[in-house]
Copies of this chain bind each other. A is one copy, B any other.
C-alpha cells in the first residue's frame, strides 16, 4: 500500500461503511452487491486481457463469449431480479455495453409487454432460450429522437395476409441499433403501418432477418455493422435495409393495436401505454451520470493523492497534487456533483416505481410531470457528467490520456447518453414546454402541485427591481437559503422565457416560430429548473441522515455544490436580485474554505463509492496507490511490444537509408 494513500485514509472523519450503505440504499443492498461482484470477479470464465489490447473483431468476440457465459450462469445461480441481473451484467462487462443488451433490455421486455397471448406463446420461449436473438430497430439514418419522422413502411397485403416491409429511401435504413449488425436473427422493426390505403403511424413488427440455421441474412435483408465508433467497440451497432421483406400478419405486435385478416385497422385503447418505458430509461440514465462521474472522481482523486509534483516551497519535497488549490477546484465540485447525482438518481428511481404502480392501474395523472422531470434531468446530468469526466481525465496530466487510466474508456462509454434516448437539447425543450405551460396555468389562477408548485408563488413573477431596493434573500452559509435562491432563479428564468415568448408572438408568423426564436431562453429556463431540483434533492437527502459525521461531510459537499453553481452562474443570481456584488467576493472566499475543509476527507469520500479495482480497471485509480509499477507492467503487455523489432522497420525504414 502506498503510504500517502494510507495516510489519507487514516485522516477520514467519518465511517466509510455508513456512507456506502447510504449510497447503495441500505446495508443489505451493499452486502448483496458485493456478493454478486465477488461471484463474477472470482469466476475464471470472465477473466480476460485488457480489451484495449485487442482488435475490434476480437473485442466483439470476447464480449459475445462473456455474454453467452453470463446467460448460462444467471440461470444456474437463479438470479432473476432485474436489478441483480443488471449488477451481474455490469460486472461481467465492467460497465461496458455488450452485444446482447438490446435482446435482454428491449426485445424480451417488448415481447412481454406488447404481444398478444398467441404471440407470447410463439415467440417468448425461443427468445428466452436464445434461439431467437432479437434487437429493437427504431432509429434510422435520417431520424432518431423525432420518431414520427421514421420512414420504414409495413404495408399489409390481405391477399397473402402478410406485411411487406420496405426501406424506401437511403435515409430510412435502420441505423445504430445494438446487436443488429452481426448478433441478432430477429428485429422488432418500427415501421409506418399502411393498410387499406391508409397510414396508421408507427407500429412494431417482429421481423426475422437471418436464417435460424445458417445465420445468413434472409432474402431482401441487407444487414451489417455500421463501422467503428467513438467507443462501443464490443457492440455491433448495425444497419438494416429491407427490400420487400414479407412477414406473416401475426408478426405485428398486437396486444393493443391490431390489423384484422381483411386489413381492417383497430386502434389501441390509449397512446400513453408505451410512454412509461421512455421515462424509466431516462430516469436510469441519471444514475449512470452519477456512476460515470463517481468512477472518474475516484480515479482522479486517488491518483492526485499519490502523485507528487512541482514545488510549493523551495527545498521542500514535492507536494501531493491534491494539495494544490487549482486541483481541488477542479475535482471537489465534481465530487460533490457525483454525490448530488447519486441522490437524484435514487429519487428518480423511487419516484418511477411509485408512479408506475399508478400507471398500471390506468392512472396517468403524475406522468406528465415525471416525463418532464426525467427528460430535463437526463439532459442536465449527462451534460454535466460528460464534461466532468474530461476534467477528471485532464486533471491526471499525461497519464490520463493512456488507456490504462480507464478515463478515456469511461468517457467514450458514457458520452452517447447525451444523445440517445432523446437528444439533450430536445429534452431540455420538452421540459421547457412543461414549465411554460405550468407558468401559464399559474398565471391563470390554477394552483400547481408537485415540483413546479414554486411557479405559484408571487415571487416568481418578479418585476425588474434595482438591486438596492430588494432585500437580499441569500445567506451564503445556509443551504436552505441557497435552495430558495435556486428556486427564485428558476422562477425568474421561466418567467423571462414565457414573457419573451409572448412578446415574440407579436412579430412571429406562428407559435412554432416564436418557440424556435426563444429556444435559448427556454433551454436556460429548463437548466435552471433542473439545477434547482438537484440542489433541493441534495438538501432533502441530508435530513434523512442520522450519523453526525457523515451528515457533516455531506453537508459540506452540498454547500460546495450549491455555492459553486451560484459562482458559475453568478450573472443569473445578480440579475434576479438574489445576490449582491459584495456577496460574490464572499462566495469566492467561502469556496476556498470549503475546498480546505473537504481536503482531508477527499480520498475517503471516493472510497465510499466502493468501486473494486476490477471494476475501475484503472492503474491510476488503484486502491493501493501503486500506480507507476502497474503502469509499467501494463505497458509491457502492449501488442506493439510482442516483438522487439516491428516489421515496419525492415519494410520501410531500413530500405530508406540506401535511397537517401
Q: Pick the contact of A570 from B53, B386, B575, B644 — CB < 8 Å?
A: B575
Please state the number of chain copies in the assembly.
2
Assuming the A-B contacts A326-B429, A574-B581, are A225 and B638 also in contact, with contact meaning beta carbons closer than 8 angstroms in the complex?
Answer: yes
Interface residue stretch chosen among A80-88, A113-121, A443-451, A628-636: A628-636
Q: Pick the contact of A575 from B75, B144, B581, B649 — CB < 8 Å?
A: B581
A466 within 8 A of B: yes
Q: How far is the CA of A659 from the CA of B53 in the complex (A)?
A: 31
A567 nearest in chain B by CB position: B571
Interface residue stretch chosen among A21-29, A128-136, A243-251, A544-552: A128-136
Q: Are B225 and A325 in contact (CB under 8 A)?
A: no
Q: Are A173 and B632 in contact (CB under 8 A)?
A: yes
Q: Are B512 and A403 in contact (CB under 8 A)?
A: no
**Which residues from chain B contact A600 at a C-beta distance below 8 Å?**
none
Which residues between 311 and 361 of chain A lie within 8 Å of chain B, taking CB atoms? Answer: 311-314, 318, 323-327, 329-330
Q: How far is the CA of A61 from the CA of B648 in the complex (A)?
A: 5
Q: Are B520 and A326 in contact (CB under 8 A)?
A: yes
Q: Are A581 and B326 in contact (CB under 8 A)?
A: no
Q: How far is the CA of A111 from the CA of B227 in the complex (A)?
A: 44
Q: Pick the contact of A640 from B60, B424, B652 — CB < 8 Å?
A: B60
**Which residues from chain B contact A386 at a C-beta distance below 8 Å?**
390
A472 within 8 A of B: no
**Which residues from chain B contact A78 at a C-beta distance below 8 Å?**
none
Which residues between 459 and 518 of chain A lie within 8 Å of chain B, taking CB atoms? Answer: 464, 466-468, 496, 510, 512-513, 516-518
Q: Are B176 and A637 in contact (CB under 8 A)?
A: no
A15 within 8 A of B: no
Q: Are A637 and B227 in contact (CB under 8 A)?
A: yes
A393 nearest in chain B by CB position: B230
Q: Are A217 and B182 in contact (CB under 8 A)?
A: no
Q: Are B227 and A519 in contact (CB under 8 A)?
A: no
Q: Are B52 and A227 in contact (CB under 8 A)?
A: yes
Q: Are B170 and A326 in contact (CB under 8 A)?
A: no
A274 within 8 A of B: no
Q: Are A656 and B326 in contact (CB under 8 A)?
A: no
A641 within 8 A of B: yes
Q: How far is the CA of A551 from the CA of B468 in the complex (A)?
A: 43
Given contacts A143-B309, A225-B635, A574-B574, 15 further A-B contacts (CB under 8 A): A52-B228, A53-B228, A55-B639, A57-B640, A64-B646, A130-B660, A142-B308, A146-B310, A148-B311, A182-B648, A226-B638, A394-B418, A398-B420, A467-B467, A517-B592
